[in-house]
Chains A and B, each alone.
Chain A
């Protein structure tokens, strides 16, 4: 007669656990690999930032050509922007570890340093525009997420049509002391906000034209 095959319960459990652990391990490996990639890019950007900051200091001290500092800053910001896009992509797919969140924070700090190092250069040179886009990181509110999505598109459009823009998107809710000081200095009341050339703060951007009107 038919015999019971109850051992299947244990076999199935074992196989499921093995598949699951293998899957999780693979997932963590992929996330770790992504994290390493971003870390390498970050190191490169960090070097560029230090270089740009040193150049900015030299520009001030030796009154060198403003064009050099404009080019260095904009190139760096553009590169950081591209790296941030990749980071965001990896962040969306990273579900098992929080390594990407930490990297995101490091990038925000990097951009804050870039913002801060541009304070005096911008004042003296006035040959480019600085757009600092302060947004909420990890917001669960659909309304906020949708608004920030459209702001990103508007700012990107403005940036693409004007080579003299240094665009810095920064997550303002990352508990970074230096960033908090800058936010306080510009009296930012809510997020998202756009700081234009360190003297104008916008909380509503209906269309790209609104931003264009404030550009020099």
Chain B
């Protein structure tokens, strides 16, 4: 068997396996996906909002938290990371009106979200500590849908479902689809105790667990991934509340999107490097989360090389044949070019693509916001499935390169 055939079969097998894990988890837990729990006692909660130059949205974020229906929400601590715009004035307006809102300012700009989040945590005296980005708008019931999970004393963190809002273009539409699929997948991973990130827009931690892991790692570019791995490594359970919805504004331009994704991926690599000793060790972190993370990279990068190699060869071959055929004055295309006798690899690929598409549609149908079955146009799903996802493998390579070069710009 040729090397490329073996590589292709390996690639397909791993992809199939992961997809099958999701399919089985979904079919076995369908009825519990939306499950939330009524809190057995009112747990006090403080929400920390790190803020840097967010005068446009910070007011909306604070207001959304003030509108929360959770009675235990004691404090909304807005940490100004030495903003240079009008953010401080906007926040102070709220502190004057609402005693729940507290304004604190870091002594100097920390340069990342982890720094200001850790700074804000010093002012927390409640049992639960939540974090929200300065441009995230949680639904009124988001917090109350999350806190019930803390009835289980082993739960250290609960995360929400992030959906996108704001300007609509091809990039944000693709991200809207992507965020829904991510949320759906993350919920499924929750049943396997394998949630690997508690998102920045809205996550709540047990203060005891947060203190035990020493807060966020300011050296890591994705502090929300790192802290989640830290929780799991310490034996804390992490859950996701699907009905807890928080809206966020995704990047609307390719450059900003690219920059954000590079940061996410470099942060992911930093986290893998930090916890490398746990790889294949006991516990879900070493046995599933890390291999899953690394296989995702492997699949993305080998898939790209595979595709690029085949495509380049195909193009060069077609070009040379056309060039020589024109020179020889013979037909460019003959009937022999249209024979169809696909190999078993083709059928494997088609099956994988079809299953992937069914998974995408199931995730979208499940996450529908409007009354429509899927909530997205077929054209947008096509753009997402073909073009948007294809942007990812090159991004992984750039991220890896930047990680090796010590990239750490927020």
Which residues of chain A have a CB within 8 Å of any CB of chain B? 1-2, 4-6, 8-9, 11-13, 15-16, 19-20, 23-24, 26-27, 30-31, 85, 89-90, 92-96, 142-143, 145-147, 149-150, 153-154, 156-157, 205-208
Chain B stretch 338-383: residues in CB contact (< 8 A) with chain A: 339, 341-348, 351
When the two chains form their complex, are residues B328 and A150 in contact, meaning their CB atoms are under 8 A apart? yes
Please name 29 pairs of A and B residues whose Cβ atoms are closer than 8 Å in the assembled complex, sorted by A. A1-B151, A1-B152, A2-B152, A4-B191, A8-B191, A9-B21, A11-B24, A16-B17, A16-B20, A27-B344, A30-B344, A31-B344, A89-B341, A92-B341, A93-B344, A95-B2, A95-B344, A142-B320, A143-B320, A145-B317, A146-B317, A147-B320, A147-B324, A150-B328, A153-B331, A153-B334, A157-B331, A205-B328, A207-B330
**B401 at interface (Cβ–Cβ under 8 A)?**
no
Residues in B whose Cβ lies below 8 Å from that of A156: 334
Shortest distance from the beta carbon of A14 to any chain B beta carbon, whole Å: 9
When the two chains form their complex, are residues B325 and A153 in contact, meaning their CB atoms are under 8 A apart? yes
Residues in B whose Cβ lies below 8 Å from that of A207: 327-330
**Which of B25-33, B55-63, B91-99, B260-268 participates in binding chain A?**
B25-33
CA distance A92 to B345 in the complex (A): 11
When the two chains form their complex, are residues B330 and A93 in contact, meaning their CB atoms are under 8 A apart? no
Residues in A whose Cβ lies below 8 Å from that of B28: 5, 8
CA distance A208 to B331 in the complex (A): 11
Name A150's contact: one of B152, B325, B348 (CB within 8 Å): B325
Residue in B closest to A143 when the chains form the complex, CB atoms: B320
**B37 at interface (Cβ–Cβ under 8 A)?**
yes
CA distance A19 to B25 in the complex (A): 18
**B1 at interface (Cβ–Cβ under 8 A)?**
yes
Q: Fill in one digit per residue for B302-337: 1 if any A CB lies within 8 Å of its CB, else 0.
A: 000000000001001100110011011111001010
When the two chains form their complex, are residues B190 and A2 in contact, meaning their CB atoms are under 8 A apart? yes
Name B321's contact: one of A93, A96, A146 (CB within 8 Å): A146
When the two chains form their complex, are residues B344 and A96 in contact, meaning their CB atoms are under 8 A apart? yes
When the two chains form their complex, are residues A157 and B192 in contact, meaning their CB atoms are under 8 A apart? no
Residues in A whose Cβ lies below 8 Å from that of B192: 4-6, 8-9
When the two chains form their complex, are residues B330 and A150 in contact, meaning their CB atoms are under 8 A apart? yes
**B388 at interface (Cβ–Cβ under 8 A)?**
no
Residue in A closest to B330 when the chains form the complex, CB atoms: A153
Shortest distance from the beta carbon of B296 to any chain A beta carbon, whole Å: 16
Residue in B closest to A19 when the chains form the complex, CB atoms: B16
A9-B21, A12-B17, A207-B327 known; A23 and B342 CB under 8 Å?
no
When the two chains form their complex, are residues B29 and A5 in contact, meaning their CB atoms are under 8 A apart? yes
CA distance A10 to B29 in the complex (A): 16
CA distance A143 to B321 in the complex (A): 9
A16-B17, A149-B321, A208-B328 known; A9 and B288 CB under 8 Å?
yes
Chain B stretch 182-228: residues in CB contact (< 8 A) with chain A: 190-193
Residues in B whose Cβ lies below 8 Å from that of A24: 344
**B282 at interface (Cβ–Cβ under 8 A)?**
no
**B71 at interface (Cβ–Cβ under 8 A)?**
no
Name B25's contact: one of A8, A27, A94, A142 (CB within 8 Å): A8
Residue in A closest to B327 when the chains form the complex, CB atoms: A206
Residue in A closest to B148 when the chains form the complex, CB atoms: A1
Residues in A whose Cβ lies below 8 Å from that of B23: 12
When the two chains form their complex, are residues B344 and A26 in contact, meaning their CB atoms are under 8 A apart? yes
Shortest distance from the beta carbon of A201 to any chain B beta carbon, whole Å: 19
Shortest distance from the beta carbon of A136 to any chain B beta carbon, whole Å: 15
Residues in A whose Cβ lies below 8 Å from that of B331: 153, 157
Residue in A closest to B313 when the chains form the complex, CB atoms: A142
